[in-house]
Chains A and B, each alone.
Chain A
Amino acid sequence: MPKIAVEASGLSKKFGQFDAVKSIDFSVKEGEIFGFLGPNGAGKSTTINMLTTLLPVTGGRVTVSGFDVSRNPEEVRKRICLISQEGSADGDLTAEENLIFYGKLYHVPKNDLSGRVKRALSFVNLSEKKDVRVRFFSGGMRRRLEIAKVFVSDPKIVFLDEPTIGLDPQSREMIWKKVFEINRKSGITIFITTHYMQEAEALCNRIAIIDKGKIIAIGTPNELKKSIGISEICEFAVNERGEAPLENLLKRRGFSPELLSKGRMRVLSKKEGSEKIVSSDAKKAGASVSEFQTRRPNMEDVFLYYTGHDVRDSDSDGAQLTRNLAKNIRGG
């Protein structure tokens, strides 16, 4: 039975009349990477701020590394590292100076400090930039410097609040790699918030989907994907004349067909092998189909299913179509 790193029950936060977090329950096992996935304003940062003792809890309770956050904030602080969205490095200090200051805050023994800082900088590939003031760093370098803090203070749990927000794909992947390494090598528990589906899926052992201050679903990425009851999403091109008859056939099958732009159609299938079924239906309907693209449901589909809206809540064509998809799945 693995130990518990974070345990929240009925955790709530009110700002005046506004309920930012509404009685959430979850637990994070030691050594796992646990993600809070949700749109901006869902209550992710508020939750992380409560877990890291920055905001007082207004309802329920939560323990971090075995200590109650409200009653023993000092014990909690000793065991955690917070990597926040805004970053915490002082732009007027160099990378090395920032990490030394950080180590002193965490009472790292003097004879150990410079060695740890050196290793930390090399881990995030910033050794050559150690004497550069942080204000001249790019967004990616800043984020890496934040990650280096983990190797200086040696925490039990690392909290990452939107660690790759605003970064380019390369920097993002580099951060993911580093987070993985931290988790693998040292077995450090990682709690992460993100609104990137891909990030949650790539990094997390388990994900909690949070929306409007509530947790809607918790599970591993696979569990969550299975939970929506769709095993394949299949897209293909269809000739104009065959569109209507094929759509009718597929509808009867419960495939919730949808016409996309440029003569393409999409179906949702509860079983695998949708391509074969579509092909045989097309023959019956006298339609010609080609260019099949079959994929498994991703986190985006899962998110839509549970929240009924896209994470960005944009009204792009794709978002609109996937909204229909969510409706269809739920209706069926």
Chain B
Amino acid sequence: MIELWNSLPVVMQILLKITAILVPLLLLVAYYTYAERKVIGYIQIRIGPNRVGWRGWLQPIADALKLLFKEVVIPSKADKALYLMAPVITIGPAMAAWAVIPFDAGLVLSDINAGLLYVLALTSLGVYGIIIAGWASNSKYALLGAMRSAAQIVAYEIAMGFALVGVLVAAGSLNLGAIVEAQAGSVFTWFWLPLLPLFGVYLISGVAETNRAPFDVAEGESEIVAGFHVEYSGMAFAVFFLAEYANMILISALNALLFMGGWLSPLPQSWVAGVPLLDDGFHWFALKTGFFMFLFLWLRATFPRYRYDQIMRLGWKVFIPITIVWILVVALAVVYRLPPWWSA
């Protein structure tokens, strides 16, 4: 088996590994949409989709097939090349960011030193897809939605970037695997506690970055219909949808990696070393990511939509001061080796 693997050309090996990441990811996206409808259904004391397959389990497949056989309408006044390019620019980075996500100790497609920088760069590219889509559609709703969405994303990206600087100071590395290793110890050495304000900022900014409720003014259906993708139909719409959900899963995974110790077990090492399921491993990473994914749905079902001026106020006037102060606090603790976390 190993000989067969080694005899394959390197590019072939890489392609197989990418398939092993992308296929589960796309399935997860499909069933995340199902989970969203079910979870919000039960929160609102409804059942949610239950017609296609047993308890609605085939609903996402049916949705995908329906979208596949629908017409991709290209508005006559749209800029055709840009109009078709926008979904591709949105989904490309949403997929490619997974190249540096470590799923377990050493289990990562590309173990590069600049991992976090790469993720930040790729998630920032998403805003181009939105602006291009809004502008190329030549529709008023789309343009307004794109402007709102872009301004919101860049405002929260700053808070997010500052929060990441705090993580870097604490971990001393850009490599995502090394950042997880730096949190080893116990639940209380995971970065969520020493970096609690940054964790909060990152968590909320992540929701705003993906344009999810309660920050979904960009596609607030009661005022601007669907925002930047109002003119998109069929598969072109499906690609935007796919990218949005893939980004939500990515942000959840980053939350788990940067603040919740990734694949580390919450129980003390001395108890669980070598015990299957309780020891460190992929399942802990999956569990933590799943929790943050659930949080996205829970937030959407719980909070009413923010007003746009409130969103901008929160991003600029609350989050940025918090993060600047906490970066200095953490840096001070690291440089002067202050207890309890950096006394060593």
A and B held together in a complex: no
A interface residue numbers (CB < 8 A to B): none
